[in-house]
Amino acid sequence: MKKPSRTYETGLEQWKRELSAELGQDVTYEQIAAETELSYSTLMKHARAQFRRPDYATAARICEFFNKRSKKQRTPLEYFVEVEPGQLMELAAV
């Protein structure tokens, strides 16, 4: 029997909301893209898509952005959340 593949979503949107609340100002995807040197489209994919193979290097760059600005320290392993295929991750409202 073939083992079902795992599917992951990211915490990017939630992290962005949490940091915006912590700083008292909106953190934009444009700002994250410029400072991480990731493309805006890559960030949009991370904010809205599901992945079969998480990219640790991209997650590390995103974590570095948040860790420089927030009291809450994050790791790349916390960035990806395993979900059932087709299931949408519920994000906590801030």
Helix (H) or strand (E) run with residue 62 in it: helix 56-69
Helix (H) or strand (E) run with residue 18 in it: helix 12-23
Q: What is the DSSP letter of 37?
A: T
pLDDT digits (tens, 9 = 90+) for 38-94: 999 999 988 887 777 778 899 999 999 999 999 999 988 888 877 766 555 444 333
Q: Bridge partners of 51?
A: 8
Q: Which of 94, 66, 69 is nearest to 79 (CA)?
A: 66
Structural contact between residues 11 and 79, judged by C-beta atoms closer than 8 angstroms: yes
Structural contact between residues 81 and 10, judged by C-beta atoms closer than 8 angstroms: yes
Q: What are phi and psi of 92, to 5 degrees?
A: -70, 135
pLDDT digits (tens, 9 = 90+) for 21-53: 999 999 999 999 999 999 999 999 888 877 777
Q: Which domains does the chain have, with CATH numbers?
A: 10-79 (1.10.260)
**pTM, whole model, 2 decimals?**
0.78
